[in-house]
Amino acid sequence: MSVSISVTINNKQYTTQVEPRQLLVYYLRESLHLTGTHVGCDTTSCGACTILLDGKAVKSCTVLAVQADGSEITTIEGIGQHDHLHPIQEGFKEEHGLQCGFCTPGMIMAAADLLQRNTDPSEQEIREALEGNFCRCTGYHNIVKSIQYAAKKIQDTKVAVI
Amino acid sequence: MTYIGKSIKRVEDKRFITGQGSYTDDIVIPNMTHAVIVRSPYAHARILSIDTSAALAMPGVVAIFTGADISATGIVGVPTGWVINFKNGDPMKEPPHPLLVTDKALCVGDGIVIVIAEDQATAIDAAEAVNIEYDVLPAVALPADAVKAGAPLVHDNAPNNVCFDWELGNPKAEVDAALAGAHHITKLDIINQRMIPNAMEPRSAIGHYNEAHEKYTLYTTSQNPHLTRLLMAAFVLGIPEHKVQVIAPDVGGGFGSKIFHYTEEALVTWCSKKIGRPVKWTSGRTEAFLTDAHGRDHATTAEMGFDKEGNIVGLRVNTIANLGAYLSTFAPAVPTWLHGTLLQGLYTTPKIHIDLKGVFTHTVAIDAYRGAGRPEATYLLERLMDTAALEMGMDPAELRYKNFIPPFDGVTQPGYQTQVALQYDSGNYKAVLDRGLEMVGYQQFRAEQAEARKHGKLLGIGFSTYVEACGIAPSAVVGALGARAGLFESAQVRVQPTGKVSVYTGSHSHGQGHETTFSQIVADRLGIAMEDVEIIHGDSDSVAFGMGTYGSRSLAVGGSAIVKSLDKVLEKGAKIAAHKLEAAVEDLEYAEGKWTVKGTDKSISFGDISLTAYVPHDYPQNLEPGLDFSSFYDPTNFTYPFGCHIAVVEVDAETGKVKLNRFIAVDDVGNVINPMIVDGQIHGGLAQGIGQALLEGAIYDEDGQLVNASYMDYAMPRADDLPSFEIDRTVTPCPHNPLGVKGAGEAGCIGSTPAVVNAVMDALSGFGIKNLEMPLTSERVWRAMHA
Amino acid sequence: MIPANFAYHRAHSVDEALDLLSQHADDAKILAGGHSLIPAMKLRLNQPGALIDIGRIKELRYIKLDGAYIAIGAGTTHDDIANSELLQKHIPMLPQSAELIGDVQVRNVGTLGGSIAHADPAADWPASIIASDASIVVRSKSGERIIPAGEFFVGFFTTALQTGEIITEIRIPVPAANTHSSYHKFMQPASRFAITGCAAVVTVNNGVCENVRVAFTGVADTPFRDAKVEAALTGKAPSAENIKAAADLAADGVDLLSDNSASAEYRQHLARVYAKRALTEAIG
């Protein structure tokens, strides 16, 4: 009953047999061991599983792996390089936008979606763009600052968000 | 100081921002199986039969166990770690908490069957195929209902559902007399609602029995792996402690909920030996709502008496505290020694008495949640203060100034002895209120408020000034109060031959940034670069011992243990240096990573001494090789952070919706090692405290169902629910630990809740409303306005 | 949380989807964005034997002007609608509604057709779809039929869709000149679904309100147009007093929902407040 899918994840192509019921997040975590994408709830609420699917932020707990067939996916492991952080990753470090780190990958991917749409978001726009991502540690204060940092850096360096 | 006091960026961040963190559920062990627990859908039900045959027959199912399988091996269940005696000296009622229940389920979520399969999906399928018949019994969920005549009993041996009764403070007659003579009494009935901690990482545990070594490894989402090892090995499973390794890897937040030793940890450990394969269990979110220990849930009547001038003359408190169906690890301590002891607040109240009952209900166990007892105490005190100010026509800030304990540094002036057992270490309470008022622009706000009200706009300001007790705690003191453990901390400083330093701490970071803060301390004390320091934690095999992280204790207790070991390293290093420099130890001074003979340019570096210690060819006689020291630090007192929180809100007059416009927090947490990290701790605490005031709260119905057990129903604070916070600090060092630090983890959560509620009450002052139950939902506020 | 097993079929055209649907009869569910269906399947509240994935059918994803109406393909995402200049120009209430659905991640995947087929009584779309006087185009093996939005939502999670039918398009009549619209929502603080969502569409000619359409979601188990509010404002000037007087009639005589998020009494009050707010933004 398994189905063959072919996806490009972080610029690498994978062809895998998956069970139709396998959620994309478990495909990433269990089949590919890309464990940076987390599961924090059962109800499509918390956003810890956020990835970019064809450039847009989605909650990978609510997408079947088969639905992603033929798509391009970016996960936290692929948004920057270890020795060359993405400006959003850099922002989170510089502005102390994380504590326990569990929500962080999803936050960074949601921020990437925002900054693609709006290169100069206001504080209110940032807060509204994060409504699908919960953080229990930071009170969001420094997450907002992290994204402001990233927005400025992206503007200054004129790099593409993705 | 190169590092201390500076906002050094966190060294742990890189793995988290690149997706390389290693949380328990990320760990894969060859041949690992997956467990799902079948749980009671009823709050109180007799289990008539359990049929696992259909589930067992499903392909991919490895094993299924029931409570009978476990109790047959003599396992009773998980214990509590604290004893509170009844007032008459009788020990509290301490019913067993089995790993899986056999006869009766006592709350929704009680585990009944564990299903183990090759993969999680199959385990879920099989769990659905387990058939359990129940006889559903009446249940009780709220603390005040539990003690009513005829309430359903949770445990047969606990009459009236009372686990213990308890009192603290001055003799009750003295307090009654003080209130009888008061000019004014402010009385409030307060529900401090049940909160669900909601660390973003759901709990997870992997049990792995290695037959070749006859050794168990447990990976678990724990704030204190050593305590879990001790409890599980010695008190639950009866297995030798040295044959158990507990690893708490990266942990995604705790807020108290991951302190406790949970049944699932023992279950997967037990099952792994039984089936000879590793067993992983990871909680779902609704499962977390139903199994993580909850917090708060007090029903209180509080009365505060004042004289004509507004001086407090007495405080009388009567509280019923919910403990849930079972006693969690620290449950009995939270409403008692972490709550009653804080009723002095930062006021000179001369007479205080609290009467408290801890009661069982058919609900999830209640234990420490960020602040643990102190938010409940602060909430009732600070609500009383603002309400009293309103009733007496006084300014709430003025009323506080009038009653503050005068400043004391704990060095030249003694600590402050409260009426409720504690001795505060140091405090300057006026200073934080001064600064808070300055930041908010108090006089200007009052003018704006008056103007806004003319246009029907409801603005409000609310205050909260708090002191708390953290850095828990002196072992002898807590032992006398009922703790079954000491609350010291351990640290080992292992200097490598090349002068690089590995530090093993019993504290556990699950977001607090220990790898950075502790490295700053080590690097500065040794005069070396932070890059040359590694902090290791969370593994009971590598760290000698640990009591873990909670009660804002890591820096004050764990950090102090590190300092002790560093001092030992330097003391021994000096002896080696004296030998190498052919000088007396007392003629040496240590600075910037080298020992120098005073008044000369003769010196030797830390790295050279380290190498000498491990290559001791030219070495002092009677000195052991090596440079590696362990210490245990047991504090002499709690630490007492304090602060002033001010909320500014606007209430939508049409809908009752509350908008938090500003939040000002001035906290004094003693000396600060890393301001950026301390600020972050405050921010997070504020969000949780504000969440309690406005959004959060468990709702149990009369059948004992937790009706909001998901994020679709339980309102978590989101980014657009909150403003950016305006924070500052004053610094009053702790006089009794080597770093002068207090604790920052819980302060934000302790002070903020009453500030928000007071602000809403201020906004509604024209409506004659005195009190509203949290969370202040739009409907509650609207109803009050239209009552 | 993992769904129960099911068979997966991907349709590449509406015809293929209809073939698959007829083959699998009652046991199949249509999967579009999946953002209503998959959450229910994860909780095992819904356990279909087969899913027919129409998410790849490009012919279902469009927003275009088609004579007298704007046609929105059923597979169009909320985010597409939120960012549609065409809709912004003709009926800004629809992008406004889309923007208030869920969060950006949900809007990126969830579809208009999927949402209305699910018919959650607290969903955002029903109010503005009814108020915009839309028609729902559905196809089956036996052909196409057009269901007026007002007849589409028949009850709690129940629509007029019949077995074997797929929603293909939502048609919005291009509003007459001088027509204004707005959607306002009071959110349930946890889920952010609507406790009360009010959509208002009003044409103002010669200083008088005509063609008043006011619809609610979240207030009752079925979304509805509020005839009393509409009648009260029709023929009147769009003044604050008239708006308030009309809004105060909102949800009168309606069987109101009542739950832990809001009592019936509070919902009715909110319906009045939000009718006022939506109307005021539209024409005030």
Interatomic CA distance for residues A15 and A3, integer angstroms = 10
DSSP B60-129: TEEEEEEHHHHHTTT---PPPSB--B-TTSPBPP-----SS-SSEE-STT-EEEEEEESSHHHHHHHHHH
| Across A99-108, average pLDDT | 98
Element holding A53 (H helix, E strand)? strand A50-53
Quote the tokens at residue C51: 């899913």
Position B198 scores a pLDDT of 98
Cβ pair C270:B655 closer than 8 A: yes
Find all residues with CB under 8 Å of C183, minimum gap 6, and list them. Answer: C93, C96, C97, C100, C124, C127, C128, C131, C197, C198, C199, C200, C278
Find all residues with CB under 8 Å of B200, minimum gap 6, and list them. Answer: A38, A40, A46, A48, A100, A102, A103, A134, A135, A136, A137, B252, B253
Query: What is the per-residue pLDDT across B590-629, written as a single tens digit (0 to 9) for each?
Result: 999 999 999 999 999 999 999 999 999 999 999 999 999 9
Whether A89 and chain B come into contact, CB under 8 Å, resolves to yes
Whether C101 and chain A come into contact, CB under 8 Å, resolves to no
Among partner residues B125, B699, B713, which is closest to C191 by beta-carbon distance? B713
Cβ pair B284:C1 closer than 8 A: yes
Find all residues with CB under 8 Å of B605, minimum gap 6, and list them. Answer: B499, B593, B594
| Amino acid in position C124 | D
Interatomic CA distance for residues C91 and B548, integer angstroms = 59
Minimal-distance CA residue of chain B relative to C273: B654
Position C206 scores a pLDDT of 96
Distance from CA of B182 to the nearest CA of A (A): 42
Interatomic CA distance for residues C75 and C114, integer angstroms = 7
Cβ pair A134:B16 closer than 8 A: no
Distance from CA of A109 to the nearest CA of B (A): 11
Interatomic CA distance for residues B702 and C236, integer angstroms = 50
- pLDDT above 90 as % of chain A: 96
Distance from CA of B487 to the nearest CA of A (A): 24
Distance from CA of C261 to the nearest CA of B (A): 8
Distance from CA of C2 to the nearest CA of A (A): 7
Position C25 scores a pLDDT of 76
Q: Which residues of C touch A3 (CB under 8 A)?
A: 8
Sign of CA dihedral B43, B49, B54, B57: positive
Confidence of residue A82 (pLDDT cuts 50, 70, 90): confident
Q: Are strands B458-467 and B33-39 parallel, antiparallel or unpaired?
A: unpaired
| Across B620-649, average pLDDT | 97
A with C: how many residue pairs have Cβ under 8 Å apart?
88
Query: What is the per-residue pLDDT across B59-113, written as a single tens digit (0 to 9) for each?
Result: 999 999 999 999 999 999 999 999 999 999 999 999 999 999 999 999 999 999 9
Q: Which residues of B touch A35 (CB under 8 A)?
A: 19, 22-23, 25-26
Find all residues with CB under 8 Å of C253, minimum gap 6, and list them. Answer: C228
Find all residues with CB under 8 Å of C245, minimum gap 6, and list them. Answer: C232
Element holding B534 (H helix, E strand)? strand B533-537
Find all residues with CB under 8 Å of C195, minimum gap 6, and list them. Answer: C122, C186, C187, C188, C218, C261, C262, C267, C270
Residues C279 and C224 sit within 8 Å (Cβ to Cβ): no
Whether C6 and chain A come into contact, CB under 8 Å, resolves to yes
Residues C84 and C63 sit within 8 Å (Cβ to Cβ): yes
Distance from CA of A147 to the nearest CA of B (A): 12
Q: Which residue has the tokens 């008056």?
A: B450
- Nearest in space to B179 (alpha carbons), one of B317, B35, B9: B317
The answer on pLDDT for B157 being more than 90 is yes
Query: What is the per-residue pLDDT across B512-562, written as a single tens digit (0 to 9) for each?
Result: 999 999 999 999 999 999 999 999 999 999 999 999 999 999 999 999 999
Find all residues with CB under 8 Å of B232, minimum gap 6, and list them. Answer: B78, B218, B244, B246, B261, B265, B266, B269
Interatomic CA distance for residues B371 and B394, integer angstroms = 30
Minimal-distance CA residue of chain B relative to C194: B712
Query: What is the per-residue pLDDT across B468-494, written as a single tens digit (0 to 9) for each?
Result: 999 999 999 999 999 999 999 999 999
Whether B252 and chain A come into contact, CB under 8 Å, resolves to yes
Residues C243 and C204 sit within 8 Å (Cβ to Cβ): no
Whether A113 and chain C come into contact, CB under 8 Å, resolves to yes
Whether A62 and chain C come into contact, CB under 8 Å, resolves to yes
Cβ pair B714:C190 closer than 8 A: yes
SS3 B558: helix
Interatomic CA distance for residues A107 and B412, integer angstroms = 49
Residues C81 and C112 sit within 8 Å (Cβ to Cβ): yes
Whether C269 and chain B come into contact, CB under 8 Å, resolves to yes
Minimal-distance CA residue of chain B relative to A130: B719
Q: Kindly report the CA angle at C232 between C228 and C236, in degrees rounded to 5?
A: 160
- Nearest in space to B244 (alpha carbons), one of B497, B604, B687, B541: B541
Q: Which residues pair with B665 in a beta bridge?
A: B645, B727
Whether C95 and chain A come into contact, CB under 8 Å, resolves to no
Quote the tokens at residue C151: 């007849």
- Nearest in space to C141 (alpha carbons), one of C223, C259, C24: C24
Whether B390 and chain A come into contact, CB under 8 Å, resolves to no
Residues C14 and C168 sit within 8 Å (Cβ to Cβ): yes
Q: Which residues of A touch B17 (CB under 8 A)?
A: 76, 85, 89, 92-93, 98, 101, 104-105, 108
Whether C256 and chain B come into contact, CB under 8 Å, resolves to no
Quote the tokens at residue B658: 């509350």
Cβ pair C2:B121 closer than 8 A: yes
Q: Which residues of C touch B128 (CB under 8 A)?
A: 44
Q: How far, CA to CA in Å, does C194 sit from each of B642, C123, C198?
A: 41, 6, 9
Whether A61 and chain C come into contact, CB under 8 Å, resolves to yes
B768: left (phi over 0), alpha (psi -120 to 50) or beta: left
Q: How far, CA to CA in Å, does B408 sit from each of B429, B467, B642, B733?
A: 9, 14, 13, 11
Whether B708 and chain A come into contact, CB under 8 Å, resolves to no
Residues of chain C falling short of pLDDT 70: none
Whether A93 and chain B come into contact, CB under 8 Å, resolves to yes
Among partner residues A76, A136, A144, which is closest to B200 by beta-carbon distance? A136
Whether B785 and chain C come into contact, CB under 8 Å, resolves to no
Element holding B642 (H helix, E strand)? strand B642-651
Among partner residues C1, C4, C263, which is closest to B779 by beta-carbon distance? C263
Among partner residues C7, C53, C103, which is closest to A1 by beta-carbon distance? C7
Q: What is the ipTM of this complex?
A: 0.98
Residues B574 and B604 sit within 8 Å (Cβ to Cβ): no
Interatomic CA distance for residues B193 and B195, integer angstroms = 6
pTM, two decimal places: 0.98
Task: Give the B window 96-125 contacts with C, CB below 8 Å.
Answer: 120-121, 124-125
Whether C45 and chain B come into contact, CB under 8 Å, resolves to no
Interface test with C, best of A1, A19, A39, A44 (most C CBs within 10 A): A44
Whether C49 and chain A come into contact, CB under 8 Å, resolves to no
B458-474 burial, b for 16+ CB within 10 Å, e for fewer?
bbbbbbbbbbbbbbbbb
Cβ pair B711:C191 closer than 8 A: yes
Interatomic CA distance for residues B322 and B296, integer angstroms = 8
The answer on pLDDT for B1 being more than 90 is no
Task: Give the A window 27-56 contacts with B, CB below 8 Å.
Answer: 29, 33-43, 45-46, 48
The answer on pLDDT for B585 being more than 90 is yes
Whether C78 and chain A come into contact, CB under 8 Å, resolves to no
Interatomic CA distance for residues C29 and B689, integer angstroms = 44
Element holding B491 (H helix, E strand)? strand B489-495
| Across B309-321, average pLDDT | 98
- Nearest in space to B255 (alpha carbons), one of B634, B557, B696: B696
B with C: how many residue pairs have Cβ under 8 Å apart?
43
Cβ pair C2:B120 closer than 8 A: yes
- Nearest in space to B612 (alpha carbons), one of B639, B581, B642, B590: B581
Whether A64 and chain C come into contact, CB under 8 Å, resolves to yes
Subunits next to C (3 or more Cβ pairs <8 Å) are A, B
- Nearest in space to B638 (alpha carbons), one of B459, B472, B434, B419: B472
Whether A42 and chain C come into contact, CB under 8 Å, resolves to yes
A with B: how many residue pairs have Cβ under 8 Å apart?
183
Sign of CA dihedral B473, B477, B479, B482: negative
The answer on pLDDT for A1 being more than 90 is no
Query: What is the per-residue pLDDT across B361-399, written as a single tens digit (0 to 9) for each?
Result: 999 999 999 999 999 999 999 999 999 999 999 999 999
Confidence of residue A30 (pLDDT cuts 50, 70, 90): very high
Whether B688 and chain A come into contact, CB under 8 Å, resolves to yes
Residues B217 and B268 sit within 8 Å (Cβ to Cβ): no
Distance from CA of A70 to the nearest CA of B (A): 24
Whether B253 and chain A come into contact, CB under 8 Å, resolves to yes
Element holding C29 (H helix, E strand)? strand C28-31
Distance between alpha carbon C277 and the CA centroid of its chain, in Å? 19
Q: Kindly report the CA angle at A157 between A155 and A161, in degrees rounded to 5?
A: 65
Q: Which residues of B touch C44 (CB under 8 A)?
A: 128
Position C232 scores a pLDDT of 98
